[in-house]
Chain A
Amino acid sequence: MTTTADLSLSYEAAPTFSTPLRFFLTAPLFGALAGVVLLFVPDLLGSRWTPGALALTHLIAVGFMLNIMFGALFQILPVVAGAAIPNARIVAGIVHVGLATGVASLTWGLGAGSPPFLNAAVVLLGITFGVFLVAAGYGLRRTPIAQATPRDLRFALLGFGIAATLGMALAMILSGGLSLPLATVVKLHVGWAWLGGSGLLLAATSWVVVPMFQITPNYPARLTRYWALLTCAALVAWSAAVLAGFSLLEFILAIALAALSGAFAITTLRLQTRSRRSVPDNTTRAFQLAMSCMIAGLLCIVAAHRFDHDVWPVLAGILILHGGFVTAIVGMLYKIVPFLAWLHLSQAGMKAPNMKKLQPDGPIRKHLIAHAVALAVLLIAALSGSTLVVRTAGVLVMLEFGLLFANLMRVLGAYRIARSA
């Protein structure tokens, strides 16, 4: 009997260090670029619909978040789901270049309102998503689905696929190549990108990562068993309500989705209070901030439905993307990268410095503080509308992503020193 799981668990099946790392090192550059945009286009936070806000959102969501999520998936699919991506190195090369050029093109297309750039983004990101989803789907095709995480990873990939398709449709509407109701497609795109893709991936990862690394009790079995199913079902029903124009049903389902997301965030926070580890590490702190921001962001979404003011959606976007996803992702990155350095060193038969020598706590803490300050100033900037505060936020965002990049390079430096020793 042979299954894909036979070999996928071995070190030999794990991708080379450069496979995930190229994504991890590119992502902070797009984050820093978001800071540059804030610095030079300070009126963009006035509404979620300004070209600058759209560009900014995609620099963070696609340029930063998706870059890291893709890089991490190349690494974790074999470990968590027993699914090895075939020809990972070549696939990663295509996905990495496609994503970087695609998001650059998309950002310029959105920010400058340029149809040729939007069209180029559709082609580049279309190829990127297509290649990644086919390769991941191929790796996953015969692996066991006994646990919640491998199943939910499949849902997340499906969610990303739907969000990407809707996003490409939107870019084509904006460039004049497709005639569809813009507002409806935007709504669906945001719903699927946020919850169907990113939200499901974060939850699927958390089911495993929180209990294991923070040594907490497991998530309640009912939550891990039904959360992703319910969220997907509610998303499908909500999409149908949006398409049919049933606004009351749409509102009720949006509240249901917010409640589901809130249940996930609150459960995570409660589990963390029961951690057996006496000293919360940086990842735990990052998760606490992320989950609190998610909850605050959800409240802003509810407020946006209730009060017709442009600030609520902007606050929700900052809290959920920068406060929620970016923080959680950074927290996990600081576990993954030094471990990979350690793993590749020890497997090459070299003496690997321990995790804290490869990635000391001090610089991580500095970065997390910079990130939290940038978040606070961003929120003040959105509330006050002051150009000066927005520009300050821009500088802080550049700084925080610069620190993240420097910290990751530090691990790489320590890795190289150990390799040459």
Chain B
Amino acid sequence: MNDITTLMSHDHRSCDESFARAETAISRGKWDEGTAELEKFIAELETHFTAEESILFPRFESVTGMTEGPTKVMRGEHADMREAVERMRDAVSRRDKDDYAGEAETLLILMQQHNMKEENVLYPMCDAQLAGENLPPTLAKQLGREQAA
């Protein structure tokens, strides 16, 4: 993987699969397994957000001078998703399958429209602006190390 778009898009897909594992377990009423899978998904999502918020976005902002631009929008959406994840946690703790399904659906679409913006617009901009920075290995390390932990 040699560019930011490929690396980060790949990590999006990996988060999606974790999301689906939690959804599957909970839809089958396997609450313990579902809770564990949900926590794994949340950890993976948080790792991804951190890689962006602590490495990618600051570099983009300092190279382009845009602090009020797309990265600000993306940070705002991360906050929305963190709230949505909390509502999913809450539904699981109440063992409410229907509520979980509705909250999970809400997060899924929130997450996917966010991913579309990043994959089609922001990451290609990062690849163009940060070509000389050799960021992908740093990002990969952040995503991989924290995932393994």
> Total A-B residue pairs with C-beta atoms closer than 8 Å?
107
Residue of A9, A215, A218 touching B70 (CB-CB under 8 A): A9
* Residue A74 interfacial (CB < 8 Å): no
| Residue interface mask A63-107, B partner, CB < 8 A = 1 | 000000000000000011110000000000000000000000000
| Residue interface mask B85-101, A partner, CB < 8 A = 1 | 00100000000001101
With A335-B109, A354-B105, A354-B106: A150-B16 Cβ-Cβ less than 8 Å? no
Contact call B98/A356, Cβ cutoff below 8 A: yes
Contact call A215/B121, Cβ cutoff below 8 A: no
| Residue interface mask A335-367, B partner, CB < 8 A = 1 | 100010010001000000111110000000000
The distance from the CB of A358 to the nearest CB of chain B, in whole angstroms, is 9
* Residue B58 interfacial (CB < 8 Å): no
With A1-B64, A80-B116: A143-B121 Cβ-Cβ less than 8 Å? yes
* Residue A224 interfacial (CB < 8 Å): no
Task: State A128–B28 Cα separation when bound (angstroms).
Answer: 50
With A5-B121, A9-B121, A354-B106: A212-B27 Cβ-Cβ less than 8 Å? no
The distance from the CB of B125 to the nearest CB of chain A, in whole angstroms, is 6
With A147-B119, A355-B109: A1-B124 Cβ-Cβ less than 8 Å? no
| Residue interface mask B14-40, A partner, CB < 8 A = 1 | 001101110110011000000000000
Task: State A356–B109 Cα separation when bound (angstroms).
Answer: 12
* Residue A19 interfacial (CB < 8 Å): no
* Residue B142 interfacial (CB < 8 Å): no
* Residue B130 interfacial (CB < 8 Å): no
Task: State A356–B28 Cα separation when bound (angstroms).
Answer: 18
* Residue A179 interfacial (CB < 8 Å): no
Contact call A213/B121, Cβ cutoff below 8 A: no
* Residue A420 interfacial (CB < 8 Å): no
* Residue A144 interfacial (CB < 8 Å): yes
Interface of B is mostly: helix
Task: State A278–B17 Cα separation when bound (angstroms).
Answer: 11
Residue of A10, A146, A276, A335 touching B17 (CB-CB under 8 A): A276
* Residue A310 interfacial (CB < 8 Å): no
* Residue A279 interfacial (CB < 8 Å): yes
* Residue A190 interfacial (CB < 8 Å): no
Chain B interface residue count, Cβ-Cβ cutoff 8 angstroms: 45
The distance from the CB of A152 to the nearest CB of chain B, in whole angstroms, is 11
Contact call A278/B23, Cβ cutoff below 8 A: yes
Contact call A6/B70, Cβ cutoff below 8 A: yes
* Residue B13 interfacial (CB < 8 Å): yes
| Residue interface mask A11-27, B partner, CB < 8 A = 1 | 10000000000000000
* Residue B137 interfacial (CB < 8 Å): no
Count chain A CB atoms within 10 A of each CB in B102, B105, B109 and give the residue with the most. Answer: B105
Contact call A144/B27, Cβ cutoff below 8 A: no
* Residue A211 interfacial (CB < 8 Å): yes
Q: List the B residue with the shortest CB-CB distance to A217.
A: B13
The distance from the CB of A296 to the nearest CB of chain B, in whole angstroms, is 30
* Residue A309 interfacial (CB < 8 Å): no
Q: B residues within 8 A CB of A143?
A: 121
Contact call B101/A146, Cβ cutoff below 8 A: no
Contact call A215/B16, Cβ cutoff below 8 A: yes
A341-396 contacts to B (CB < 8 Å): 342, 346, 353-357
B45-80 contacts to A (CB < 8 Å): 64-66, 69-70, 72-74, 76, 80
Q: A residues within 8 A CB of B13?
A: 211, 218
Residue of A146, A149, A276, A354 touching B16 (CB-CB under 8 A): A276
The distance from the CB of B7 to the nearest CB of chain A, in whole angstroms, is 14
Contact call A144/B121, Cβ cutoff below 8 A: yes
Task: State A195–B79 Cα separation when bound (angstroms).
Answer: 40
Q: A residues within 8 A CB of B5?
A: 146-147
Contact call A208/B124, Cβ cutoff below 8 A: no
Task: State A147–B120 Cα separation when bound (angstroms).
Answer: 6
Contact call A82/B23, Cβ cutoff below 8 A: no
Task: State A80–B112 Cα separation when bound (angstroms).
Answer: 11
Contact call B105/A355, Cβ cutoff below 8 A: yes
| Residue interface mask A215-241, B partner, CB < 8 A = 1 | 100100000000000000000000000
Q: List the A residue with the shortest CB-CB distance to B99.
A: A354
The distance from the CB of A382 to the nearest CB of chain B, in whole angstroms, is 37
Task: State A245–B28 Cα separation when bound (angstroms).
Answer: 60
* Residue A416 interfacial (CB < 8 Å): no
Residue of B69, B120, B128 touching A149 (CB-CB under 8 A): B120
* Residue A7 interfacial (CB < 8 Å): yes
Q: List the B residue with the shortest CB-CB distance to A339.
A: B109
The distance from the CB of B73 to the nearest CB of chain A, in whole angstroms, is 4
The distance from the CB of A87 to the nearest CB of chain B, in whole angstroms, is 21
Instruction: Give 20 new A-B contacts, CB below 8 A, not counting A144-B121, A276-B21.
Output: A5-B122, A10-B70, A146-B120, A147-B5, A149-B120, A208-B116, A211-B13, A212-B16, A212-B116, A213-B108, A213-B112, A215-B20, A275-B20, A276-B16, A276-B17, A279-B24, A342-B106, A353-B102, A354-B87, A355-B102
- Interface CB pairs A-B, < 8 A, 10: A10-B73, A147-B119, A213-B108, A275-B20, A279-B27, A354-B105, A354-B106, A355-B106, A356-B102, A356-B105
